[in-house]
Structure 1
Amino acid sequence: MTVTAARPSSVVPGSFDLSVTLYCDNAHFGGEWVWNLIRDGRLNRRDIWHRLGTEDRTAWLAVALWTSAYQRRARPDSAPGHVFTLDGQAVTDIVSFYCALGEAINGPGGYFGWNLDALSDCLCGGWGASSPFTLEWLHSDVARQHLLAHPAVAAGQTLFDLLSEIFDAKGIEVILR
């Protein structure tokens, strides 16, 4: 962040209004509106990301990563054994899966990975949940159908299967509903 201008505040005597330029090395084009939701206090309900396409969801996740990294500082994870509910109804691709998982664990605008390596890192703790925990995956059949359509990660393996393996390896109980 670079301060580009400072002037006495016209609103709060003795204070200053600052103009700043922010730099984020993982910023994605199109994410400005998400930053505006945060700034204006309007990122306060679930499912806002549902109406977005894949590119806008990717920008959403970039903002979620940076704001969550800031918000998580010195904040403990949910206690081991917690049950999180993931709504798979809007999971239409892997990006929407990460949006849904971040929201399930950390609330509106929450982050819990944006690729398989980041998911694995988040499952080690420090991002809202400590294992072991339980993930109750509602509408898992809807998500499974969409995730089956993605190219296989390895021969004979689906993306849905790979996600299940990752959760299992980290001691996460997944209940498919």
Structure 2
Amino acid sequence: MYRFVEDETEREILTATDVRGFFVEPSVGESEIITAVGSALRPERVPVLFEDVEMQVRDVRGREIGGYYIGRVEVTDFRDSVSVPGGTDLALSFFGFGSPYPYAGEIWQAWAQSSPAESGMWKRLPPEAHDSWLHVVQMAWFRTGHQAKRYGDTTTCEIAGADLADIAGFYCELGEAVNGPGGYFGSNPSALDDCLINSGARRESPFRLVWRDFESSRRAIGDEDLDVVISVLREYGIEIEYPSSG
């Protein structure tokens, strides 16, 4: 699932079925020892230093769906894998580099098996995981060749305001309303602006937005974040309807 390569040459350095310790709480700041699980690499000696390294995320078909430029990676220790027969668990140092999305690892594991087949799968996660889901959505969207725009010709998009606990949830919901399961349509006001421009919003409004249970989402998210989002949408002529229920 994880493939470490030289960034310029794409030469494979090692692979792993899982990477533990890389996806950390934002408060942690830096990663410490990272474990690459089930690698085929068994170094003759340690430490071994690799430069200019990218860690790719690949699905079960071998398709690249995400990636992180790490730079320097040092193998500091190794042992027989306790979870992958015949494999090696490598202790790695990324020299402090980590990803501040603590749930992204388990989300990548799910996406590696199959991309979302239905909308709303992110709602099964706790609210604190919504940032991580949005991060995976955004990275997978661009890594698989999509652009920041609307695909398809849907003229009416609906979002369920009662399901939104935070601003990340709004962008998860909007992305799927516009572009289907696992879809992306911005992750912040600037990115939303880009998506609208690339969808032809300067010429005509690309869709009408039905925002159900708006007051519920306003209470959960707060005026400041929602006012900015609404301002961006209205700037490009998006008609927003606010049904009281249903």
Using the size of structure 1 for normalisation, the TM-score is 0.72
Aligned pairs for 1:1-177 (under 5 A) are 2=5, 3-4=12-13, 21-22=55-56, 23-24=67-68, 27=99, 28-41=101-114, 43-73=116-146, 77-79=151-153, 82-125=155-198, 129-131=199-201, 132=205, 133-148=207-222, 158-177=224-243
Deviation of 1:5 (Å): 5.2
Answer 1 or 2: higher relative contact order, Cα 8 Å, separation at least 6: 1
Aligned-CA RMSD value: 2.9
Query: Relative to total residues, which structure has the larger helix share, 1 or 2?
Result: 1
Confirm or deny: 8 A CA contact 2:150 2:178 kept in the other structure. Answer: no
- Which consecutive residues of structure 2, in runs of 5 or more, have no partner in the other structure? 6-11, 16-39, 42-53, 57-66, 70-97
Equivalent position SS for 2:197: coil
Paired with 1:5 and 1:95, the residues of 2 have a C-alpha distance of: 33
The size of the alignment, in residue pairs, is 154
Confirm or deny: 8 A CA contact 2:161 2:216 kept in the other structure. Answer: yes
**Residues 135, 114 of structure 1: alpha-carbon distance in 2 compared, 3 angstrom cutoff:** same
Deviation of 1:54 (Å): 4.1
**Residues 163, 35 of structure 1: alpha-carbon distance in 2 compared, 3 angstrom cutoff:** same
- Higher CA-based Rg: 2
- Which consecutive residues of structure 1, in runs of 5 or more, have no partner in the other structure? 7-17, 151-157
Using the size of structure 2 for normalisation, the TM-score is 0.54
Confirm or deny: 8 A CA contact 2:150 2:179 kept in the other structure. Answer: no
Query: Relative to total residues, which structure has the larger strand share, 1 or 2?
Result: 2
Deviation of 1:160 (Å): 2.5
Deviation digits for residues 48-104 of structure 1 (CA, Å, limit 9, x no counterpart): 11133344211111110011113453797333x711111112111111111111121
